[in-house]
Every structure is written in structure tokens, then in C-alpha cells.
């Protein structure tokens, strides 16, 4: 955990609001995501939004709770669990598919506005999954739009992507929209 915290502190610690693109090794994916969220939540008891395109919200919530993360500070947006449209619970907005980019962005806007504090974070998991459901050009436009929204919201934003050779060109293109690129 110390190595990830150290990397996050040295790259992002002095910034109030930022957009960071983090590439993660597939073997350490779950571990790294949990450590990043723990870091973000514990940093000043900061609330945030966790957008999941990979695993159902309940699975992620359970993992985070086992790791000691106060999930009451997180609003989840679940684009995995199939629903008959957009559904809400107290802890989560269910979108139903990673293809629904406009629904995801609307849900993110609603969730950010619902958070009471000035310091907030957005954790977007993951770019790699978006590429399975959408064309690279569409994903690039969405991430450009999303990074702009994160700046307007004045949040600490982290976008996760798996380290994949076929995504390397897109990740390089998207890094220009970000304040930092991290390899974790």
C-alpha cells in the first residue's frame, strides 16, 4: 500500500483538483483499485463517486468494506448490473450498460452535485471496458468531455485503464487531457 500511496502523493498530493489517467497491471487490478479508493477516501475524509463498468456495485462495495473503506462516503454508479433503465438506490445509480455514455455522464453529474463537501473525487473504472463497448474515437471524445467536466466540478479525478498493448496509442492520446499519467 505504501508504494501506491507514495506514488499518488508525489504525483498528485500538491494538486487540489486534477484528472489523472492511471494504467494498471491486470494482475494487480483489484488490489490497486482498492488502494486508490482507500487513499482518496482517507485523505481528509473525502467523499466521492465510483463509476464501475466492470463489476457489480455490491461486489465492489463489499471488497472496499473488507479493506476498511467507509463506503458511506461513496456514491456508486453501476453500468454493469442489468436493469430496465436507470434505477436508483440510496447508495447507487444503476445505468445498465457501458454503452450508455450519456446516461453515465448524467448520473455522474447528479452524484457529484449530491456530495456536500468541496473536496470530492471521481474514480472511473475503466477505460478498457469502455473500449469493449464503444469505438476508440467515441471513447476518446467521451474521456475528453469527462476530463472537462471533472475540472468544472473541481474534483480529484482518476480514470483507470488496464495496461494493454492495443490500447497504448489511445492512452497516449488521452493523457494530453490529464494532469498526470500514472503507471501502477
Hey, where are the domains in the chain? 2-10+28-183
Phi and psi at 61, nearest 5°, equal -60, -45
Cα separation of 168 and 23, whole Å?
Answer: 10
Cα separation of 81 and 74, whole Å?
Answer: 18
pLDDT value of position 15: 80
Average pLDDT of every residue of the chain: 89
Nearest Cα residue to 97 out of 158, 53, 36: 53
pTM of the complete model: 0.92
Phi and psi at 19, nearest 5°, equal -125, 120
Mean pLDDT (whole number) for 46-58: 93
Mean pLDDT (whole number) for 38-44: 87
pLDDT value of position 65: 97
Residue 89's alpha-carbon distances to 66, 78, 93, 95, in angstroms, are 21, 11, 6, 12
pLDDT confidence bin for 84, thresholds 50/70/90: low
pLDDT value of position 116: 82
Lowest mean pLDDT among 6-10, 51-55, 62-66, 83-87: 83-87
Which superfamily is assigned to 2-10+28-183 in CATH?
P-loop containing nucleotide triphosphate hydrolases (3.40.50.300)
Phi and psi at 159, nearest 5°, equal -110, 125
pLDDT confidence bin for 100, thresholds 50/70/90: confident
112: part of which helix (H) or strand (E)?
A: helix 101-114
Lowest mean pLDDT among 34-43, 122-131, 170-179: 170-179
Percent of the chain past pLDDT 90, that is, above it, reads 57
User: What would the DSSP string read from start to end of 68-108?
Assistant: T--GGGEEEEESSS--SS-EE-SSEEE---TT-HHHHHHHH
Amino acid at each position: 500500500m505504501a508504494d501506491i500511496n507514495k506514488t499518488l502523493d508525489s504525483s498528485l498530493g500538491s494538486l487540489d483538483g486534477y484528472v489523472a489517467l492511471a494504467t494498471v497491471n491486470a494482475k494487480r487490478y483489484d488490489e490497486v483499485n482498492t488502494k486508490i479508493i482507500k487513499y482518496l477516501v482517507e485523505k481528509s475524509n473525502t467523499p466521492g463517486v465510483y463509476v464501475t463498468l466492470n463489476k457489480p456495485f455490491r461486489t465492489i462495495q463489499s471488497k472496499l468494506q473488507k479493506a476498511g473503506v467507509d463506503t458511506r462516503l461513496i456514491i456508486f454508479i453501476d453500468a454493469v448490473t442489468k436493469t430496465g433503465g436507470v434505477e436508483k438506490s440510496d447508495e447507487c445509480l444503476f445505468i445498465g450498460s457501458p454503452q450508455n455514455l450519456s446516461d453515465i455522464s448524467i448520473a455522474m453529474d447528479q452524484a457529484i452535485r449530491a456530495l456536500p463537501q468541496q473536496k470530492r473525487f471521481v474514480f472511473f473504472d475503466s477505460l478498457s471496458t469502455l473500449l469493449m463497448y464503444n469505438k476508440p474515437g467515441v471513447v476518446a471524445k467521451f474521456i475528453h468531455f469527462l476530463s472537462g467536466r471533472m475540472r468544472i466540478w473541481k474534483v480529484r479525478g482518476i480514470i483507470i485503464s488496464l495496461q494493454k498493448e492495443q490500447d497504448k496509442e489511445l492512452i497516449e492520446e488521452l493523457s494530453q487531457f490529464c494532469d498526470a499519467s500514472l503507471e501502477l
